[in-house]
Amino acid sequence: MAKVKIHSKEIPVKTIGRLSQYRRALLICTLKGKTHIFSHEIAAIQHVTAVQVRRDLMLIGFNGSLKQGYNIRNLIDVISEILDYEEGVNVAIFGLGNFGRALFNYFYGKRSQLRIVATFDSNTEKIGTEYNKVYCYSPYRVEEIVKKKNIKIAILTVPPKRALEVAKKLVDAGIKGILNYTSTPIDVPDDVFLDEYDMITTMEKAAFFVKMNELKL
């Protein structure tokens, strides 16, 4: 799924990602009392060009005024209408280790429509406890709880060796989106959103560029 239709226009996935970032920048602006903003101002905050911003906004059919630029409040609302899900989406974390907990803390409460409603861990000392008021279940209960709590998105932070089996269970249970942070690539059906991020790959790219830059001297 690389594009999506909104108002009968095709929207690239990359635009969706940028809209999320624009909104974040805009929210900070409103806190500062700003009411209007120009495309080049948005561009300066995020890492994009003013043209890119205008093009993205064109795609979602949002218009600014020539002299004042874009109305921040309205723009936030329009982006939210696109990105957000009225009823909200339920999320669960699988693997409540150091990394899972760090993500939990960071994510918890940041977006009102995105709710962490369960955690899963195989460690018997964790099962049955609450972390940030959210109950920790045994992985045996994945199917049951995912259905009962209508969980749609999974954050996968189990050990790499467990990734494949857990991912399979998730898909079978009806999960529709997985953020896979284990270093094991997983496969999912077409109708399941998948994102895989690994800091080591990024670090290797960084090191490569450092090397390249030094050689250029």
Interaction site with a copy of itself (CB under 8 A): 1, 4, 13, 16-17, 20-21, 24-25, 45-47, 82-85, 89, 91, 98-99, 101-103, 105-107, 110-111, 113-114, 152-153, 155, 176-179, 183, 185, 187, 191, 193-197, 199-213
- Does an H or E element contain 180, and which? strand 177-180
For residue 214, CA distances in Å to 201, 202, 210, 217 come to 20, 19, 6, 6
Using CB under 7 A as the binding rule, whether residue 12 contacts DNA is answered as yes
**Which residues have C-beta within 8 Å of that of residue 98, sequence separation ≥ 6?**
none
CA distance 122 to 26: 41
Closer CB to a copy of itself, 128 or 159, in the complex: 159
**Which residues have C-beta within 8 Å of that of residue 97, sequence separation ≥ 6?**
121, 157, 159
With contact defined as beta carbons under 8 Å apart, do 139 and 122 qualify?
yes
Least distance to DNA from the beta carbon of 149, Å? 33
Binding mask 45-84 for ligand NAD (x = CB under 6 A): ----------------------------------------
Q: What phi and psi, each to the nearest 5 degrees, are found at residue 143? A: -55, -50
Least distance to DNA from the beta carbon of 143, Å? 32
Using CB under 7 A as the binding rule, whether residue 65 contacts DNA is answered as yes
Query: Residue count at the site for ligand NAD (CB under 6 A)?
Result: 28
Alpha-helical runs (H) found in the chain: 13-31, 39-45, 50-59, 72-83, 98-107, 142-148, 163-173, 199-216
With contact defined as beta carbons under 8 Å apart, do 117 and 93 qualify?
no
Closer CB to ligand NAD, 56 or 121, in the complex: 121
Closer CB to a copy of itself, 145 or 178, in the complex: 178
Site for ligand NAD in 150-169 (CB under 6 A): 157-160, 162, 166
Closer CB to a copy of itself, 97 or 138, in the complex: 97
**Which one of a copy of itself, ligand NAD, DNA, none interacts with residue 139, CB within 5 to 8 A by kind?**
ligand NAD
Using CB under 6 A as the binding rule, whether residue 174 contacts ligand NAD is answered as no
For residue 35, CA distances in Å to 38, 45, 82, 109, 121 come to 11, 16, 21, 26, 45
Point out which residues bind ligand NAD (CB under 6 A).
Answer: 94-100, 102-103, 105-106, 120-123, 139, 157-160, 162, 166, 181-183, 197-199
